[in-house]
Structure 1
Amino acid sequence: MKREYWMIIIVYLVMQFSSLIGVPLLMLGFKTLGISTKLAVPYWLIISFSIALIIVLLILRKEMKQFNLNQRGTGFSRSVIWAIFGVFIALFAQSIAANIEQLLGIEMGSENTKDIIKIIDSFPLAILVSSIFGPILEEIIFRKIIFGALYKRYNFFVSAFISSLIFALAHMEPKHILIYSAMGFTFAFLYVKTKHIIVPIFAHVAMNTMVVILQSAYKNDIEKLIHGAEKVQNFIGGFL
C-alpha cells in the first residue's frame, strides 16, 4: 500500500477519535461565551470532518490531477448512469438486508441514523457531514484504499467481504452488520464496474442525502411504521 494511503488512514482515525478532546473543549468555550453546549457536537463534527477531508484531498492531489473519466474504465456517460443506478441498487440491497434482519428478530431502526437526525435538527448545517464529507471520506478509505489493496491480491467477493465487514464494524452497530455490509458490497461493485471512485462516492452521497431528508421530513410516520412492524414481528415470533 502506498505511503500516502497509510497517511490517509491515520488522518481518518485521528478524526474519528478527535471528538474525545474536541467536544469537551468546545463545550467549555461555549459555556464561557454563553452558547448552548449542545451545539458542541455538531460544530466539532463539521470542523473535524472538514479538516480531515481537506487533508485527504491534499494528499491525493497528484492522483486528482491525473484523473480523467475517459482515460480508463467506464466512459463519462456510462459512469453517470451507473452512479444514478447505483443509488437504487444500494437502497435495494439495504432493504433486502433489513428484511433479513427482521426475520432474524433484530430490532428495526438505526441508532446512528437517529443520532444523526437529532444532530441535524439541532444544527441543520451538520447535514454536510452525513451527506457529503462522511460519504466521500468513507469511499476513499473503505473502497479506494482498503478494498483496492485487497482486490490486488484476492478476488472480488473476498475483497468486498473483508472491506465491507470493516466498513460495517466502523459504524459501531454490530446488530446491523448485514445492512452496512450490503451497502459496502454495492459500492465495491460500482467501483470495480466503472473503475472510478467518483461513482460510488456519488451513489453514497445521494443515498445518505435521501435517507436523511426522508427521515427528517417523515420522522413520526417512520417511527409509527417501525413500531407497527415490530408488533407484527413479535406476533409472528409468538407462533415460532
Structure 2
Amino acid sequence: MKINVKAKADTDRSGKQKFSVKASRKGKKTPLYVLLIFIAVQLLPILFIAPTLNYFRGQGLDEATALASTSGWLIVFTMGVGFIVTMIVILRDKRFFDIWKGKKSSLLAAVGWGVLGFLLLLIGQSIAAMIEMAIGIEAGSENTMALVNIAEVVPMAILAVVLFGPILEELVFRRVVFGSLNQTTNFFVATAVSALVFALVHMEFSHLLLYFTTGLVLAFLYQRTKRIITPIIAHIMLNGYVMLIQLNMDKIENFLKQLENIQ
C-alpha cells in the first residue's frame, strides 16, 4: 500500500510539473505571438494595395479618393482582424497580465486614472509641442492629417484609429515591450525603451519628442494601476479627441469667427 501511494504521489507531482512547464512555455510565447500579430498588421496591407486600389479605380473614383478608400478599408480590415486574433491569443493565456508584484488598483480606480491619464497626455503633448516649436520644428502631424483625410472618405476607419489601434498598441508597447523589460531591468529603462520604440514605430522622426512623451505617460499609467485598461482608456480618449477636433475643424473655426463678430 505504501508503495502504491508513493507511486501515485510521484505521478501527481509529475503531472503538476508537466502542466507547470506547459503553462510557463505558453506564458513566454504569448507576448511573442502578440508582437508578431502586430507586425503582420503593419506589413500585410502592402500585399493588398494594388488589387484594392484597382478595384476602387474601377468604381470610377478619382485617384485621390481611390487612394484614401484603399488605405481606409485596408486599415479597417487588417486592424479588425488583428484585434480579433490578438484577443483570441491573449484569452488562451490567463496569466498574460500577471506580471506585477503587489496589489492591482480596483477597476474603478483604473478607469479613473485612465481619464486622468488623458489629461496628462494633453499636458505632456502640449509641453513637448512647445519644445519642438522652440527648436524650429513645425507644429502638426502628417500622420494624423493623413488619417483624418482617410476618415473623411472612409468613416469606418475612425473605429480602427480610435479603438483597434490604441488597444493593439497598448498590448504591444506597454504589456509586451514595457512589461517584459520591467521584469528584467527596471522601471526607468523599461519606460525609456518602450517610449522610444513607440515613437520610432510612428515614423515621424521630427516629432520624436511628442511620441516619446506620450509613451512615458502611458507607461506611468500602466505602472501606477498595474492594469492595462488604464493606458488603453487614456489612449482611446486621446485618439478620439484628436479625430473629433480635426474632423470638425471647419465648424470650430466658423464658431470662433461668429464669437469674434458678436464681440
Same-fold call, TM > 0.5?
A: yes
Change (3 A) 1:83 1:62: same
Alpha-carbon distance in structure 1 between the residues aligned to 2:250 and 2:43: 29
Paired residue for 2:5? none
Structure 1 runs of 4+ aligned residues shifted over 2 Å read 28-38, 62-68, 219-222
Partner of 1:62: 92
Please report the TM-score for the alignment, with normalisation by the length of structure 2.
0.78
Corresponding position: 1:141 with 2:167 = no
Give the fraction of aligned pairs with identical amino acids, expressed as a percent: 33
Deviation of the 1:22 alpha carbon: 1.4
Match of residue 37, structure 1, among 24, 47, 66? 66
Aligned to 2:33: 7
Q: Match of 2:78?
A: 48
Opposite residue 26 of structure 1, the aligned amino acid is: T
CA distance in 2, matches of 1:155, 1:28: 50
Instruction: Give the superposed CA RMSD.
Output: 2.2
- Note the residue ranges of structure 1 that are not aligned, 5 or more in a row: 223-240
Distance 2:127 2:155 in 1: 30
Supply the distance in 1 between the matched residues of 2:75 and 2:150 (Cα, whole angstroms): 10
Q: CA deviation at 1:30?
A: 3.3
Q: Which residue of 2 aligns with 1:166?
A: 197
In the TM superposition, residue 94 of structure 1 has moved relative to its aligned partner by 0.7
**Structure 2 unaligned blocks of 5 or more:** 1-26, 254-263
Q: TM-score, normalised by structure 1?
A: 0.85
In our comparison, the structure showing a higher alpha carbon Rg is 2
Note if contact 2:128-2:213 (Cα within 8 Å) is conserved in structure 1. Answer: yes
Counterpart Cα distance in 2 of 1:74 and 1:128: 28
Q: State how far apart, in whole Å, the 2-side matches of 1:196 and 1:219 are.
A: 38
The number of residue pairs the alignment matches comes to: 220
When structure 1 is superposed on structure 2, of 196-205 and 21-30 the one drifting more is 21-30
User: Residue type of the partner of 1:163?
Assistant: S
TM-aligned CA distance change 1:122 to 1:138, over 3 Å: same
Where 1:124 maps in the other structure, the secondary structure is coil
